């Protein structure tokens, strides 16, 4: 269990830092909110965790929030 969690942490941190360099800090930081959703998906797939309706609604709200944050950043034009 320790090696599984350590591997997931290393993978997640690596992806986050790669995303920060490619997307910029504003967009990449919004994806931190998807960590609980990703953890839930892996717990369902790997250990058979049960999904509750409230959890699904929360996941949808989280993904929608990340989309809206990134969409609002895309609209802003740089100030010269």
Q: What is the pLDDT of residue 77?
A: 59
Is residue 25 a part of any domain in this protein? yes
In the chain, the number of structural domains is 1
| Digit-coded pLDDT (tens) for 36-57 | 788 888 888 888 888 899 988 9
Is residue 18 a part of any domain in this protein? yes
Q: What is the pLDDT of residue 57?
A: 93
Is residue 61 a part of any domain in this protein? yes
User: Could you tell me the CA-to-CA distances from 69 to 2, 46, 48, 53, 56 in Å, in that order?
Assistant: 34, 30, 32, 24, 20
Supply the range of the domain harboring residue 31.
2-75
Number of H helices, E strands in the chain: 4, 0
């Amino acid at each position: 269990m320790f090696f599984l969690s350590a591997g997931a942490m290393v993978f997640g941190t690596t992806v986050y830092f790669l995303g920060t360099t490619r997307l910029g800090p504003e967009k990449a930081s919004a994806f931190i909110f998807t960590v609980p959703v990703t953890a839930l998906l892996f717990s369902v797939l790997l250990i058979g965790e049960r999904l509750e309706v409230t959890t699904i609604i929360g996941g949808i709200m989280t993904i929608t929030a990340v989309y809206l944050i990134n969409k609002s950043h895309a609209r802003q034009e740089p100030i010269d």
